């Protein structure tokens, strides 16, 4: 049975990736690191910010890593205050269609800014449950984030589909024994090949396609 859809936020529902990248790049520049978008995709995309900082700043101790991660957070919050939050309309269309079919909707994001972003984008009322970086201890690829989301929705793991755009997010969904749809925004679908289905946009997905994934 297909009862619940769990969406990552950044890169899946909203296009905050450019803002995150700018904030990471500005922070790492303070440590004389030329942070590239390839670094972003490989090292920090989709994981808690302290883990992302640690992935690049390998010589720092835990307190220094926290300081770096907090600086990134400051830069990001400055950006979301100034900038509008771009929305992937196809993702919102899918959420609306699924809700009409009585499918429950959750957001599961590593970002501690999740609720701020949903509020600013006017999307928070679409969600039946929210799990963000304040709610769990183990970052992706650990499945804790998705297990918590399923618990909030009171659904079995086998009843949930996860929508992810990051490699570690796909791995976390698999580790939770959930169906997974990968959204490839970078024209490189192979990086998400462990997902049950990979598309370049959620306009390519509907309830019938999702039900088919559960019958495999």
Of the chain, the end-to-end C-alpha distance in Å amounts to 12
Q: How far apart are CA 96 and CA 98, in angstroms?
A: 6
Which one is catalytic: 10, 51, 132, 196? 10
| SS (HEC) of 148-213 | HHHHHHCCCHHHEEEEECCHHHHHHHHHCCCEEEEECCCCCHHHHCCCCEEECCHHHCCHHHHHHH
Site of tokens 């992706």: 140
Which one is catalytic: 8, 39, 51, 165? 8
Catalytic residue check, 8: yes
Q: How far apart are CA 1 and CA 214, in angstroms?
A: 7
120 to each of 100, 103, 106, 108, 117, how far by Cα in Å? 24, 24, 17, 17, 5
Q: What is the CA radius of gyration of the chain?
A: 17
Active site residues: 8, 10
């Amino acid at each position: 049975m297909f009862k619940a859809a769990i969406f990552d936020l950044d890169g899946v529902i909203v296009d905050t990736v450019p803002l995150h990248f700018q904030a990471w790049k500005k922070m790492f520049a303070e440590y004389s690191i030329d942070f590239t978008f390839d670094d972003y995709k490989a090292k920090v995309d989709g994981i808690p910010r302290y883990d992302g900082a640690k992935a690049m700043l390998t010589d720092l101790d835990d307190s220094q890593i926290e300081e770096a991660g907090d600086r990134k957070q400051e830069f990001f919050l400055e950006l979301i205050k100034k900038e509008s939050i771009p929305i992937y309309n196809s993702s919102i269309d899918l959420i609306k269609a699924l809700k009409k079919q009585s499918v429950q909707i959750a957001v599961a994001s590593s970002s501690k800014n999740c609720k701020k972003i949903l509020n600013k984008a006017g999307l928070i009322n679409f969600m039946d449950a929210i799990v963000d970086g304040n709610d769990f201890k183990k970052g992706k690829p650990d499945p804790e984030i998705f297990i918590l989301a399923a618990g909030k929705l009171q659904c079995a793991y086998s009843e949930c589909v996860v929508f992810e755009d990051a490699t570690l997010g796909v791995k976390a969904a698999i580790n939770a024994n959930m169906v997974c749809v990968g959204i490839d925004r970078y024209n490189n679908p192979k990086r998400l090949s462990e997902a049950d289905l990979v598309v370049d946009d959620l306009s390519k997905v509907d309830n019938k396609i999702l039900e088919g994934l559960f019958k495999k």
